[in-house]
Structure 1
Amino acid sequence: MILETGRPAALVALAPLSLLLAGCEPGAKESSQLGPRGAGMEQVRKANLASNPETPPPSAYKLETREGQKAGEVYPDLKLLGNISVEEFGLLMANITEWVVPKDAPPEQAGCNYCHNPENMGSYEKYTKTVALNMLKMTKNINVNWTDHVKQTGVTCYTCHRGKAVPEFSWSSQPDGPQGTILRNRHGQNAPVQAVGFASLPNDPNAFFLGNSEIRVGATQVHPGSQPTGIKDAEVTYGLMMRMSGALGVNCTFCHNTHNFADWNSSRLQRQTAWYGIRMARQANEDYIQPLQTVFPKDMNRLGPMGDPMKVNCQTCHQGHSKPLGGISMLADNPALREIWSPKTTSVAAPDGAVQAPNGAAVATGSTSEAAVSLGQTFREAGMAPAG
């Protein structure tokens, strides 16, 4: 079973059964018609979230020019950001401090001291500096290679952290809970939690944000073989859809056409964006966060009870909005976060497997720059989204 932080606890077992199995989240909603009347194509959003996205903090100061002495010339050990100017480097460090370091941090962890030894700024003796370096690589990779999801808005450290050392909406693996005597709770089944809209579904949709688990459950062949087509598979996938719906504060028709949820040709363009988002989160977790498992201290809240790091899903960035921070981009004041540091952006090859492109050619669904770009271009030219 997988649970996440930033969530209220599940309803108590002694509550009435009808309440426990309710499939709708409470709260005021806003709705608007998307398709023809009678087609069920209405967009439903949480009223309080749809109209009040969080406003990001201003930049520490305005960057007048990107020219000037390179930071790498002043700080010889600086590799990742050595090609930007000293002034821009200082601005980025000041902004990252504002985005990540808690306001109530003790003096030895406040400001620059959160990652650095003030007596030796180049030292990596504090684990937070190693973590920050990996997160900077991840942020750059997302902004350069995952524009099919983040577009030109991009992300910064603030998109997830919002002034907290550990993002509020992160998740880790959890041990299985005790068997329920009323609901016969097993592996999260029939244990209503907010992550799946309080529905009677397996409450571990975060498992889809690791590896390359199959999400589609409708068979595309007469004899599907290894394709997941059972009711159990459908329940797990539906749990993921509920997870994503809650994360963005929208309903199913934000991505799907109700006449055929599986059909890509009649789906909205947001479905293609979401397709890339799932795979972007997978890469972030596998290539940048999971490798930090041995870096994080075991006595802090950076690791979950099973020993794995706190990871990301859609909620980590979106936090109830279809566009994180209402679509405000922070990259204009932090342009270095849109620039890659080397031609290759990942240490692993594209995962095994391919999706069938519209022209019949197999296209790898990897996380490398080449795979992401070629896949996006193929489907944009064909006017449709991936077949998976």
Structure 2
Amino acid sequence: MFPKWFDNWNKDNPTNIFGPAIAVGVAGSAVFVAAMIVGFGQPFPTESQQTGPRGTGMHVQEFVSDLAVYPDVEGFFTSEPIVPADGAALMGDAEGVPPSLANLTPENYERLVTAMRDWTGIPDLLEPGNDSYQTTVAYSMIEMTQNINQNWAAHVQANAEVGVTCYTCHRGQPVPNNVWFQVSPVNSNVAGWSANQNRVTMVSNFTSLPSDYLETYLLADADGNYAAINVHDLESRVANQPGDPLIQQTERTYAFMNYFSNSLGVNCTFCHNTRAFYDPSQVTPQWATAGLGIIMVQETLAEYILPLQDVLPAERLGPVYADVPKLACRTCHQGEQQPLNGLNVIRNWPELAVLDGEPDYSAFE
């Protein structure tokens, strides 16, 4: 087919054509895919939420397919309350009734307990005569939920009535997902910096960042103070003054911010103008909501979670330091900007909306 001299030349000068062929094939495929996307559109459409002024790149982008699927929403059990008649009997001091629910009528009490059993996956929760640790924990968790709904509405209802119930965290399981335990010190033989970086832990989101940021920022020290969330000086080669944050604090802060991003499924621009991190006047409204959330979690841990240390059995405690399981942003949000995609879980449960006072049933009259 080819001239004899050409065949002889190829025989004397063998060449590997597979490498160039693969390169040409890859390049051609890339051009073809690009042409298809331009011609027919993005096969995985996205939606963007603008979080700041136009032209600053402040937006949160998500796949439409991810926004359309919220399986936990379908599992939320709810029912409308029964409006009490004037002078209706209340549960009062009946056996097994939590003090925070003593002002409910028997019908609404049973309705709420039935829902709580479904929300937590504990079929005998608050069963009369059940003196298990779950009863003690339930008493504390009911008050915690009421406190959050009543006193932290600026966080849990920042944009609309949403609220929280047991289901917000539990999602039908006795122990919620995304709880956390103490992980430091990871090396008790090292003085100074606790060598808590470069550890493959879920708390660090499998990064080389510190793993102790949650316990550092959300738990009080021996004097009742919380560590400041800050970074080192913005200028380079600045001599640190006493009390100034070091690079370790900066990396802890980055680890905490990374936790926020993963907990809410957002990026930095959800709260910050990333071209001006240093300027508090350019943060978004969500920054204030997140700040309230930090304080809310600190209070919740101190008043409702940590006191359960001596209540929980050994199998419910942490694997390293046998500490109580703790909550934080991801426990409720579980990767969404609003837990359960902003589902109003408190509407039918006025019993959980107030810590002090009577439930308000006026919306159902």
8 Å CA contact 2:51, 2:284 repeated in 1: no
Q: Which amino acid aligns with 2:209?
A: L
Q: Corresponding residue for 2:137?
A: 131
Structure number, greater radius of gyration? 2
Instruction: Give the gaps of 5 or more residues in structure 1.
Output: 1-26, 103-110, 180-184, 344-388
Query: Aligned letter for 1:163?
Result: G
| SS across alignment from 1:170 | coil
Would you say 1:62 and 2:68 are equivalent positions? no
1:112-158 CA-to-partner distances (Å, cap 9, x unmatched) read 2x443xxxx1x462111000000111111111111121113111011
| Distance in 2 separating the partners of 1:310 and 1:186 | 22
2: CA distance, partners of 1:76 / 1:29: 50
Relative distance call for 1:76 and 1:162 in structure 2 (3 A) is: closer
Structure 1 letter corresponding to 2:109 = F
Shift of 1:47: 5.9
| Alignment-mate amino acid for residue 126 of structure 1 | S
Aligned twin of 1:325 = 340
- Residues 45, 64 of structure 2: 8 Å contact kept: yes
Give me the whole-angstrom Cα distance separating, in 2, the residues matched to 1:143 and 1:98.
20
With 93-102 and 49-58 compared, the bigger mean Cα shift is at 49-58
Contact kept? 1:159, 1:325, Cα under 8 Å? yes
1:150 aligns with 2:164: no
Residue deviations 1:205-248 (CA, integer Å, cap 9, x gap): 2222212111022569x998554422111111010000011000
Shift of residue 76, structure 1, vs aligned partner: 9.1
Count of residues in correspondence between the two structures:
296
Alignment of 1:30-179 (within 5 A): 31-35=48-52, 38-45=55-62, 49-53=66-70, 54-59=72-77, 61-67=79-85, 68-72=88-92, 78-102=98-122, 111-112=123-124, 114-116=125-127, 121=128, 123=129, 125-151=131-157, 152-174=161-183
Give the structure 1 partner of residue 310 of structure 2: 294
| Per-residue CA distance 1:281-306 (angstroms, 9 max, x = gap) | 111111101101011112x1344431
Asked if structure 2 preserves the Cα contact closer than 8 Å seen for 1:153 and 1:327, the reply is yes
Counterpart mapping for 1:270-285 below 5 A: 270-285=286-301
Instruction: Verify: 1:204 aligned to 2:218, yes or no.
Output: no
1:74 Cα shift? 5.3
Residue aligning to 1:191: 199
Q: Return structure 1 stretches of 4+ with deviation > 6 angstroms.
A: none
Q: Which secondary structure does the structure 2 equivalent of 1:173 belong to?
A: coil
Q: Is contact 1:71-1:78 (8 Å) kept?
A: no
Name the counterpart of 2:22: none
Distance 1:285 1:28 in 2: 40
**Which deviates the most, 54-63 or 328-337?**
54-63
Unpaired segments ≥5 residues, structure 2: 1-43, 221-225, 359-365
Structure 1 window deviating more from structure 2 (60-69 vs 231-240): it is 60-69
CA deviations on 1:16-52 (whole Å, 9 max, x unpaired) are: xxxxxxxxxxx99764554456523232346654442
Output the TM-score relative to the length of structure 1: 0.68
Q: Which moved more, 1:203-212 or 1:60-69?
A: 60-69
Report the alpha carbon displacement of residue 73 of structure 1 after superposing the two structures with TM.
6.6
Q: Distance in 1 between matches of 2:258 and 2:328?
A: 13
Distance 1:93 1:302, change over 3 A: farther
RMSD over aligned Cα atoms = 3.2
Change (3 A) 1:227 1:46: farther
